[in-house]
Structure 1
Amino acid sequence: MIESQIEAEEVSRTNEFVQLEFHGQELDDKDFFSKSDPFLEIYKVNSNEKEHLVWRTEVVKNNLSPQWQPFRVSLQSLCSCDPGKSIRCIIYDHDSSGKHDYIGEFSTTFQEMLQASSGDEVKWECINHKYQEKKKHYKNSGYIVLAQCKMEKVHTFLDYIMGGLQISFTVAIDFTASNGDPRSEHSLHFINPKEPNEYLKTLSSVGEICQDYDSDKQFPAFGFGARIPPDFEVSHDFAINFEPDNPECERIAGVIEAYKRCLPQIQLYGPTNVAPIINKVAAPAAEEEKTGLPTKYRVLLILTDGVVSDMPEACDAVVRASRLPLSIIIVGIGNADFSDMRELNGDRGMLESDEGRAVRDIVQFVPLREFKKAPPNALAKCVLAEVPKQVVEYYGSKGIAPATQRSSSPLPQ
């Protein structure tokens, strides 16, 4: 949920990370019929002398001079943001039984590691203290080299919001005939004076949270899959207030009122085409992308009851949208087969289509039926859980810093 994400942000509003790359040289051989399979563990030594595991590298098989993959850790987890805090590094020979053979270790500080940030390698002797005590001519059990120590500042969702980023929510409602005749109490669109239908429940639950982060509280609201007046031709992206030049509704309450006024005036029809509404919202997002500024990020909330009729086109639309400042939330209403929605959600991996492969995961699908017995705010939390990460991921991938920090170095690509 966006709200809990903001509450969890650091007071500094930025997270500092460090990328480290370690190599081994001439490590002791612990195996009889092959060479050691070394891996490295890094521990932060706390003030009470207790150690906390920060990172464990992968195992490099049969190699006494391993090159471990670069990895990234936060400065907080590595040394509690104290450059002088002790850091202990231990090297083992991996054993499938779990009883790994101790090769050696060394102690250092982040301040010492930083010497590698200027391009110079930092080198430590790997010491086996038992050998050091017992073997008269013992020197070391090899060397560990830090080839890279690169500082990175990773901006947070709150950074962008505090920098003036606006989150703009658009609502799209499924008005296809599979929802049932709105005049029937069995319809998903039936207006019951005693209890709101599932579309209204979702609009209220999710929308009330969304509007807290929508700066102007104006929500463009569209319908799809219905025959609309005056000609009663099928439309897949009509404004539910019937004002195509101004589809915005004032707050979620305005969306709900427009929805209720819209129902008696339209004829539910079909098919369930979602590509048009995705493309409609993607168009202004594409214009936003051209600015290269973090000013407006769009979120499309689609409420639908079932199977997508234009799946190839929908996949194309999502793949194109993955390159834009846009996220898509789909809430499944009713008990239909939502396998198409799960495919758009990327359950089988990053979505692919004739447009290529999505560059990031922008679709979050949530079936409402799984929340019937959950607390009222559970749906909103789940629906909005991915948005902060998707915002940061988009701007980070473009190297776009928050507006208040644009004078500083751009984010790493």
Structure 2
Amino acid sequence: MSLFCLQQGPSWKEVLVYQCLCFVFNRGLPGKKCGNIIVKAEEMGNCRESVMMQFCGNKLDKKDFFGKSDPFLVFYRCNEDGTFTTCHKTEVVKNTLNPVWQAFKIPVRALCNGDYDRTIKIECYDWDRDGSHDFIGEFSTSYRELSRGQSQFNVYEVSVCVCVTLLSFLVDIEVTFLDYIKGGHSFLYLALLFHYCTLLLLSHYRTCFPGNPTQPTSLHYMSPYQMNAYAMAMKAVGEIIQDYDSDKMFPALGFGAKLPPDGRVSHEFALNGNPQNPYCAGVDGVMEAYYQSLKSVCLYGPTNFSPVINHVARYAASVKDGSQYFILLIITDGVISDMAQTKESIVNASCHPMSIIIIGVGPAEFDAMIELDGDEVRISSKGRYAERDIVQFVPFRDYTDRTGNHILSMARLAKDVLAEIPDQFLSYMRIRGIKPSPAPPPYTPPGHPLQTQI
């Protein structure tokens, strides 16, 4: 029998596991009786509290022949039908009868589903390598009892003369991405950056190719029938993020081109041709500047990311109160030429209110950009790790709809590209201890008195 506890809707992984189990149990395997699968569900309460708790043990039983015990605690939430579901396990404290477990944070909805009087069962075990953990004892309590904090009420006897004591209990209200938006915290969509160099990857070297935008072989090809990959990526992401910017004026930069009139190579130039005022009106203004710049610049390499990351980081570093959050969108088709400098720039930028979205277009290999994404291994430079994950990379080719439905491609791309932004935003606010501002009062039209309910 399997028990699924689905909170706030199932993830795609949970759905996949469930479908696989249904296939096995319902259709069966030839010649075998596979049994039944039971799915139990409970509506989760709308509770936004989290609690930080810490426990210690005193004179626990000695369970190991050599040594003392390796104790840990298991917390169970009581369900509506009287069954129990594991909701937390502490770490194992080795070789002691008087453990002090690390403080841990858990949502109240996971602990008791917002029901302060619901039973919480806690079991104490001695850890064994083979998994046959020795039972030391158990006790029951409730959120309401635990909320009394460290006192005589929260010293629990798990067996004769063996106690587990609550050392601390601290309640925190979980704030959400929407709380900050309601409080006036805004996204300053600071820069849309286009890499202009179209690359031919040869056997042992890379050559810069002009990539004439009037030729269908160029990734910047301006077709009269549809947008190129650069424009599609910019429009898909930009049209969503622009709603979080009050004035919708976006500086748009390009990198990897020779500029008129002298042909100097630049990795940080204004798409609209005005370095003193690179701002464009809305996403449509950015697209117009992009198309116009293709007619005047000469595409050129190499692919240097660090100048543009440092450019945005300088602006982000000047905002300390969390009132603005900067999102840098980089659209590129090349392999990074300044990998070491780029990693250093990202590590430095990770302590500022900013995120970096990288969209790779074209057939190139993007191994370096996957490394910058940092989902599996936190990015580091010169022995220093990034304070938090701020990079999200996606290859555009993975979102190309085979039926040619570009609207669907753009929707799927925008969804995945922006998936990590709320968590990255919240991680910065939590690290800095910045709380959302109070939401402004609802707007009352002139001449309409404010009505209150008594």
Paired residues for 1:325-340 under 5 Å: 325-340=353-368
CA contact (8 A) 2:57 2:163 kept: yes
1:181-210 deviation digits (Å, cap 9, x = unpaired): 323211111112223221122112222222
Say yes or no: does 1:112 pair with 2:145: yes
Residue 88 of structure 2 corresponds to which residue in structure 1? 55
CA contact (8 A) 1:121 1:147 kept: no
Say yes or no: does 1:233 pair with 2:264: yes
CA contact (8 A) 1:182 1:190 kept: yes
Counterpart Cα distance in 1 of 2:393 and 2:379: 14
- Does the residue aligned with 1:379 lie in a helix, a strand or coil? helix
Alpha-carbon distance, 1:50 to partner: 2.3
**What amino acid is aligned across from residue 307 of structure 2 in structure 1?**
P
**What amino acid is aligned across from residue 363 of structure 2 in structure 1?**
N
Alpha-carbon distance, 1:283 to partner: 1.7
Residue 294 of structure 1 corresponds to which residue in structure 2? 322
Counterpart Cα distance in 1 of 2:428 and 2:375: 20
Residue 309 of structure 1 corresponds to which residue in structure 2? 337
Task: Pick closer, same or farther for the CA change 1:386–1:120 going to 2, 3 Å.
Answer: farther
- Does the residue aligned with 1:288 lie in a helix, a strand or coil? coil
**What amino acid is aligned across from residue 288 of structure 1 in structure 2?**
V
Say yes or no: does 1:165 pair with 2:185: yes
Say yes or no: does 1:212 pair with 2:243: yes
Equivalent in 423, 439, 451 of residue 389 of structure 1? 423
Counterpart Cα distance in 2 of 1:251 and 1:172: 15
Counterpart Cα distance in 1 of 2:93 and 2:431: 30
- Does the residue aligned with 1:126 lie in a helix, a strand or coil? strand
Say yes or no: does 1:192 pair with 2:223: yes
Alpha-carbon distance, 1:354 to partner: 4.4
Say yes or no: does 1:148 pair with 2:168: yes
Counterpart Cα distance in 2 of 1:368 and 1:265: 26
Task: Pick closer, same or farther for the CA change 1:121–1:339 going to 2, 3 Å.
Answer: farther
Alpha-carbon distance, 1:348 to partner: 6.0
1:112-151 deviation digits (Å, cap 9, x = unpaired): 212226x888310004xxxxxxxxxxxx261111111122
Counterpart Cα distance in 2 of 1:261 and 1:355: 43
**What amino acid is aligned across from residue 17 of structure 1 in structure 2?**
S
Say yes or no: does 1:399 pair with 2:433: yes
Counterpart Cα distance in 2 of 1:141 and 1:122: 15
Give 5+ residue unaligned stretches, structure 1.
128-139, 406-413
1:32-76 deviation digits (Å, cap 9, x = unpaired): 444333221111223332222211112233333222222110112
CA RMSD after TM alignment: 2.6
CA contact (8 A) 1:27 1:103 kept: yes
Q: Point out 4+ residue stretches in structure 1 off by more than 6 angstroms.
A: none
Residue 273 of structure 2 corresponds to which residue in structure 1? 242
State the TM-score, normalized to the length of structure 1.
Answer: 0.85
Counterpart Cα distance in 2 of 1:198 and 1:50: 53
CA contact (8 A) 1:299 1:327 kept: yes
Equivalent in 155, 180, 184 of residue 123 of structure 1? 155
**What amino acid is aligned across from residue 360 of structure 1 in structure 2?**
R
CA contact (8 A) 2:310 2:345 kept: yes
CA contact (8 A) 2:198 2:218 kept: no
CA contact (8 A) 1:320 1:355 kept: no
CA contact (8 A) 1:174 1:225 kept: yes
- Does the residue aligned with 1:314 lie in a helix, a strand or coil? helix
Number of matched residues? 382
Residue 353 of structure 1 corresponds to which residue in structure 2? 381
CA contact (8 A) 2:45 2:113 kept: no
Alpha-carbon distance, 1:355 to partner: 8.9
State the TM-score, normalized to the length of structure 2.
Answer: 0.78
Paired residues for 1:78-97 under 5 Å: 78-97=111-130
Alpha-carbon distance, 1:93 to partner: 2.6
Alpha-carbon distance, 1:97 to partner: 3.9
1:251-299 deviation digits (Å, cap 9, x = unpaired): 222222221111111100122112121122112211112xxx2211000
Counterpart Cα distance in 2 of 1:15 and 1:329: 29
Counterpart Cα distance in 1 of 2:268 and 2:152: 59
Alpha-carbon distance, 1:161 to partner: 0.7
CA contact (8 A) 2:198 2:219 kept: no
Alpha-carbon distance, 1:305 to partner: 0.7
Counterpart Cα distance in 2 of 1:106 and 1:99: 21
**What amino acid is aligned across from residue 214 of structure 2 in structure 1?**
R
CA contact (8 A) 2:347 2:386 kept: yes
Residue 308 of structure 2 corresponds to which residue in structure 1? 277
CA contact (8 A) 2:70 2:96 kept: yes
Residue 411 of structure 1 corresponds to which residue in structure 2? none
Counterpart Cα distance in 2 of 1:105 and 1:347: 38
| 42-51 vs 362-371, which moves further | 42-51
Say yes or no: does 1:102 pair with 2:131: no
Alpha-carbon distance, 1:96 to partner: 3.7
Counterpart Cα distance in 2 of 1:369 and 1:120: 62
1:318-348 deviation digits (Å, cap 9, x = unpaired): 1221111111111111121322222322256
1:338-372 deviation digits (Å, cap 9, x = unpaired): 22222322256332224943211111111112222
